[in-house]
Chain A
């Protein structure tokens, strides 16, 4: 794990080195930082500021404007619940309350052991399978409360097994 991390860290470094003064590089650099750290840490903002000459305050303004960027780390596993129109109409509320029960957290929170974060997203474009959620990017559709619980518990026991 540590090796992989330093490998990724190099990628952010490389991207910083590759900066050629081109305007418009800020958002890709922030995306690279977030890919590396899992969020945009303050030090990354300062690195980018030093390299690009854009004031840190302005970079911070961009970070907080876009929904994609986080200034705090998320849990190891990220559950995204779609709150698009179709999911709303097809009963995403019940899906959310099931996950609240299972995890004991609300949207935008992380479990105490750092294993799971629950995130609400606007729409992931799988409306025809509503309601949907993703666990670490894998999409699950046509959910009911029972199905949601099963998927979550299966995932939890699988990830425990790989941890050991």
Chain B
């Protein structure tokens, strides 16, 4: 029998996946038993959602993209019942869309978009919980840590600390009570890897946590998840109770005497809680403010006990590594960055969504080969990596490979994997201001330089984008950046100036254009824009009618005139003009 799968991650749902699912349910009522209907997670092609996959039952499958409820009838009629593919609606043509999957290696995303995340049976059928069984029955904590060390896996949350080392430290810490925490407080604006993994394959994260618990000697664990991810939280709750019912979580797991309990803590919305000591403070019920390290959480963490914190993607790698061996993982990647990395692609790139590529691929290859290049073939300007702690890498440098050291050399950081692609219509000063607005609002207020310094930097950037900046402002920005970097306690403050430092370094000419020429080259900063009407105007009066301040005057069928003194630069005339007669500069 054929199986019909609908992608119902948050991306699928927001593109209308649920309506498609309901339409398919109706079809199933009309043709009872004609096919099996299932939901699945995110396959990564968010740009073609809603996606519907038809599995023939003999291993063959094909994928329909941008499915609407109206298209469902024909898909059932012609394809599922009739056996003929509807070629014009297929997402991947014959097999796969060129390049998108060919350059990917899917370890973390091995089950995403393949299994029903609500079904533990499907996870088990794809070797799920096999790794933890092997660990509990055949291995010792030392050999588990040895395998993780051999894999070369580094923390995927942004820090890049070797995971095996972290486990070793926590294991070596004195104390009979230890904790595992999964950091699912994915706060970087522009990153959605962890959300997608939790929604599409929650059991792999639970299994990774169990293995970590066995390795360091912990029996209690927390998942700290953003409250903004309701679907992910629901999936986790469901997965935990399924695993408990099967005896895979709880006391005496698989009759080995190993106990492991996982609780979910919903975050309450604070970016700084991604920092591990702040996260611990938040679980303990206090304001999420970081504290001085050492002692590191590996020595004194949650409730003062040794605690091991890893993020979602790190844990999702673990079962695969234990099943296939550390060497198999280390076979991918570069000298000091092993394995694969998941990237959330967004911005001005054609194929937005989730990809997983081996470390060492170049950024250009990710953007052009995997993700199909820039929308409307505009000029590729820069890529932003690492969220508010990261930086902008200019297009000229994008031959560099994805590797912790290589990326750090540019002033950006690998971060958790958000990749925002920018084209000629993105203003780099505006981007720097955007990130400063974010970090300034999210600073917990503990360190003076972070609390007040980011505010002062933001004020300077606002002045510049308002056309009131001076060249001296640029020196002040550099000086403040250095002070904030060196005088802040946690990662948030230390890295907050990075977006400004990198844009000043690579796009200084744009700052200068704002200050000296009073122009925004990308036409983004409103106060620096001027709208004029040229002789292509045929007097259709559309702009004059749209103008809220009556700044545009002119007779019908005569060229119109725009009064700069009355213009509030709202851009409505520019939007309504169909004759390219309104010019924005």
A binds B: yes
- By a beta-carbon cutoff of 8 Å, the part of chain A in contact with chain B is 23-28, 30-31, 61-62, 65-69, 83-86, 88-90, 97, 121-130, 132, 137, 139-142, 145
By a CB distance below 8 angstroms, the chain B residues around A68 are: 227, 267-269
Do B268 and A127 touch across chains, with their CB atoms under 8 A apart?
no
If A28-B266, A137-B230 touch, does A89 touch B10 (CB 8 Å cutoff)?
no
B211 at the interface (CB under 8 A from A): no
Q: Please measure, in the bound complex, the distance between the C-alpha atom of A86 and the C-alpha atom of B431, giving whole angstroms.
A: 11
If A27-B268, A31-B268, A141-B15 touch, does A83 touch B189 (CB 8 Å cutoff)?
yes
Do A129 and B228 touch across chains, with their CB atoms under 8 A apart?
no
If A62-B285, A62-B286 touch, does A128 touch B353 (CB 8 Å cutoff)?
yes
The chain B residue sitting closest to A52, CB to CB, is B285
0/1 per residue, B338-366, Cβ < 8 Å to A?
00000011111000111000000000000
Do B46 and A129 touch across chains, with their CB atoms under 8 A apart?
yes
B47 at the interface (CB under 8 A from A): yes
By a CB distance below 8 angstroms, the chain B residues around A142 are: 15
0/1 per residue, B61-82, Cβ < 8 Å to A?
0000000000000000000000
Q: Please measure, in the bound complex, the distance between the C-alpha atom of A125 and the C-alpha atom of B230, giving whole angstroms.
A: 11
B503 at the interface (CB under 8 A from A): no
- Nearest CB of A to B222, in Å: 9
By a CB distance below 8 angstroms, the chain B residues around A122 are: 187, 189, 269, 271, 438, 442
If A89-B431, A129-B14 touch, does A67 touch B269 (CB 8 Å cutoff)?
yes
Do B285 and A125 touch across chains, with their CB atoms under 8 A apart?
no
By a CB distance below 8 angstroms, the chain A residues around B346 are: 85-86, 89, 127-128, 130
The chain A residue sitting closest to B45, CB to CB, is A128
0/1 per residue, B407-451, Cβ < 8 Å to A?
000000000001010100010000100110010001010000000
By a CB distance below 8 angstroms, the chain B residues around A97 are: 570
Do B229 and A65 touch across chains, with their CB atoms under 8 A apart?
no
By a CB distance below 8 angstroms, the chain B residues around A123 are: 187-192, 228
0/1 per residue, B302-326, Cβ < 8 Å to A?
0100000000000000000000000
Q: Please measure, in the bound complex, the distance between the C-alpha atom of A23 and the C-alpha atom of B270, giving whole angstroms.
A: 20
Q: Please measure, in the bound complex, the distance between the C-alpha atom of A31 and the C-alpha atom of B226, giving whole angstroms.
A: 13
Q: Please measure, in the bound complex, the distance between the C-alpha atom of A145 and the C-alpha atom of B575, giving whole angstroms.
A: 10
The chain B residue sitting closest to A120, CB to CB, is B441
Do B420 and A89 touch across chains, with their CB atoms under 8 A apart?
yes
Do A86 and B303 touch across chains, with their CB atoms under 8 A apart?
no
The chain A residue sitting closest to B44, CB to CB, is A128
Do B228 and A125 touch across chains, with their CB atoms under 8 A apart?
yes
By a CB distance below 8 angstroms, the chain A residues around B47 are: 128
The chain A residue sitting closest to B433, CB to CB, is A88
Q: State which residues 131-159 of B face A: CB under 8 Å.
A: none
B288 at the interface (CB under 8 A from A): yes
Residue in B11, B434, B570 whose CB lies within 8 Å of A85: B434
Residue in A25, A69, A89, A127 whose CB lies within 8 Å of B285: A25
Q: List 24 A-B contacts (CB under 8 A).
A: A23-B284, A24-B285, A26-B286, A27-B268, A28-B265, A65-B270, A85-B435, A86-B352, A86-B420, A88-B189, A122-B438, A122-B442, A123-B189, A123-B192, A123-B228, A126-B14, A127-B418, A128-B11, A128-B345, A128-B352, A128-B353, A129-B49, A139-B10, A140-B14
Q: Please measure, in the bound complex, the distance between the C-alpha atom of A65 and the C-alpha atom of B354, giving whole angstroms.
A: 32
Q: Please measure, in the bound complex, the distance between the C-alpha atom of A69 and the C-alpha atom of B438, giving whole angstroms.
A: 18
Q: Majority SS of interface residues in chain B? A: mixed
By a CB distance below 8 angstroms, the chain A residues around B13 are: 139
User: 18 more A-B contacts (CB under 8 A) besides A27-B285, A61-B287, A145-B575?
Assistant: A23-B285, A31-B227, A62-B287, A67-B269, A67-B270, A86-B347, A88-B189, A88-B431, A122-B271, A123-B187, A124-B10, A125-B229, A126-B192, A127-B352, A128-B47, A128-B344, A129-B352, A141-B11
Residue among B15, B345, B384 with the highest chain A CB neighbour number at 10 A? B15
B116 at the interface (CB under 8 A from A): no
Do B186 and A125 touch across chains, with their CB atoms under 8 A apart?
yes
Do A84 and B190 touch across chains, with their CB atoms under 8 A apart?
yes
- Nearest CB of A to B99, in Å: 17
Do B268 and A69 touch across chains, with their CB atoms under 8 A apart?
yes
By a CB distance below 8 angstroms, the chain B residues around A88 are: 189, 431, 434
Do B228 and A24 touch across chains, with their CB atoms under 8 A apart?
no
By a CB distance below 8 angstroms, the chain B residues around A127 are: 190-192, 344, 346, 352, 418, 420
The chain B residue sitting closest to A86, CB to CB, is B346
B282 at the interface (CB under 8 A from A): yes
B544 at the interface (CB under 8 A from A): no
By a CB distance below 8 angstroms, the chain A residues around B570 are: 97
Closest 6 CB pairs of A and B: A139-B14, A67-B269, A85-B190, A128-B46, A86-B346, A84-B189
- Nearest CB of B to A52, in Å: 9
If A88-B434, A89-B347, A123-B189 touch, does A132 touch B14 (CB 8 Å cutoff)?
yes
By a CB distance below 8 angstroms, the chain A residues around B286 are: 26, 62
Q: Please measure, in the bound complex, the distance between the C-alpha atom of A124 and the C-alpha atom of B229, giving whole angstroms.
A: 7
Q: Please measure, in the bound complex, the distance between the C-alpha atom of A89 and the C-alpha atom of B418, giving whole angstroms.
A: 14
Do B269 and A66 touch across chains, with their CB atoms under 8 A apart?
yes
By a CB distance below 8 angstroms, the chain B residues around A24 are: 265, 283-285
B387 at the interface (CB under 8 A from A): yes
B195 at the interface (CB under 8 A from A): yes
Q: Please measure, in the bound complex, the distance between the C-alpha atom of A88 and the C-alpha atom of B437, giving whole angstroms.
A: 12
By a CB distance below 8 angstroms, the chain B residues around A126 are: 10-11, 14, 192
- Nearest CB of B to A155, in Å: 15
Q: Please measure, in the bound complex, the distance between the C-alpha atom of A140 and the C-alpha atom of B317, giving whole angstroms.
A: 32
- Nearest CB of A to B92, in Å: 17
Residue among B49, B285, B426 with the highest chain A CB neighbour number at 10 A? B285
Do A66 and B14 touch across chains, with their CB atoms under 8 A apart?
no
By a CB distance below 8 angstroms, the chain A residues around B268 are: 27, 30-31, 66-69
If A66-B270, A128-B353 touch, does A141 touch B14 (CB 8 Å cutoff)?
yes
- Nearest CB of B to A93, in Å: 9
Residue in A25, A128, A140 whose CB lies within 8 Å of B192: A128
